[in-house]
Amino acid sequence: MTTSDKHNGVRLVRVDADHRGQRLDNFLAGQLKGVPRAAVYKMIRTGQVRINGGRAKPASRLEQGDEVRIPPARTRESHAAPVSASVRQRLRETILYEDRDLLVINKPAGMAVHAGSGLPWGLIEALRQDRPGEYLELAHRLDRETSGCLLLARNGAALGHLTGQFRDGTVRKHYLCLLDGRLPEDLVEVDAPLSRTDVEFRGPMEVQEDGKQARTRFRLLQRYRDCSYVEAELLTGRTHQIRAHARHLGMPLAGDAKYSSREAVKRWRSRGLGRLFLHAHRLVVNALSGEPMEFDAPLPEPLREVLNRLEQ
């Protein structure tokens, strides 16, 4: 249900069951089609958008019955950027699992999950163009540079169920990564709070005492001469958590242009690594029935080739 104030153009939108559990920024993207993501974030940051009269954050989760205040906004004149048939076909080939509630994609590295920050489209826009009229919402996110398991909801009940699990920390999330350094022990757990260094949502995450709790477990898979192939398990779900904790250990992820030096990135490129070595290879969630479901995505061949060269 939507009401409006004719004098200032503000809308008050009541959240229905289909949008229960959705992030505020994603909800607004659907309500303000054509408005740049940067403008949406500015509305939230400056308090123009409110939930039940109170200020909120982009990652705030909505509940059924919440009232969202949405200010007027200037949209782009053009329609959503078309996504090529080749990209849409490529995404079809990355489907790991699908049923009436879930869609699991093996997200390619280099593809953002949604439009914004100068990008005319992302994975979610491409899928919606490929499946017009279908309900598709992101249940969580992966960084643009990260590949691997990405869950999408196919109805409102599934969205609320999945996002609730991510919010409560009951989803088991495992990543494969290459640390630029030798892990001193076979199992290292980092418990270090994180917060952003830039209020504009663009800066890196850093360990700070007043940050949000963040825990990552690094398990050694293979130790090489100057690096370590590990599985990282997220025990919490902060932005860039693995990348920030790896740097905190003094071993940033190989190929990480945001959390390591230019010299290090250049060195890894000379060794055949042209991307961030971070891959979401396993997710374990509960279906609506309560039954555990496990999804696995194999390590991409370019990353496998890097490991093969390290063996030589």
List the catalytic residues: 143
In 21-155, where does DSSP find H-type helix?
Answer: 24-31, 37-45, 85-92, 123-130
Contact at 8 Å (CB) between 141 and 113? yes
In Å, how far are 87, 101, 270, 278 from 118, measured between CA atoms?
A: 18, 31, 29, 23
What DSSP element (H or E) covers 310?
A: helix 301-311
Strands 147-153 and 102-107: antiparallel
The encoded tokens of residue 38 equal 């940067």
In Å, how far are 13, 124, 258, 267 from 132, measured between CA atoms?
A: 24, 12, 36, 44
Strands (DSSP E) along 127-203, which ranges? 137-138, 147-153, 172-179, 187-191, 194-196
Closest CA relative to residue 130, chosen from 98, 163, 84:
84
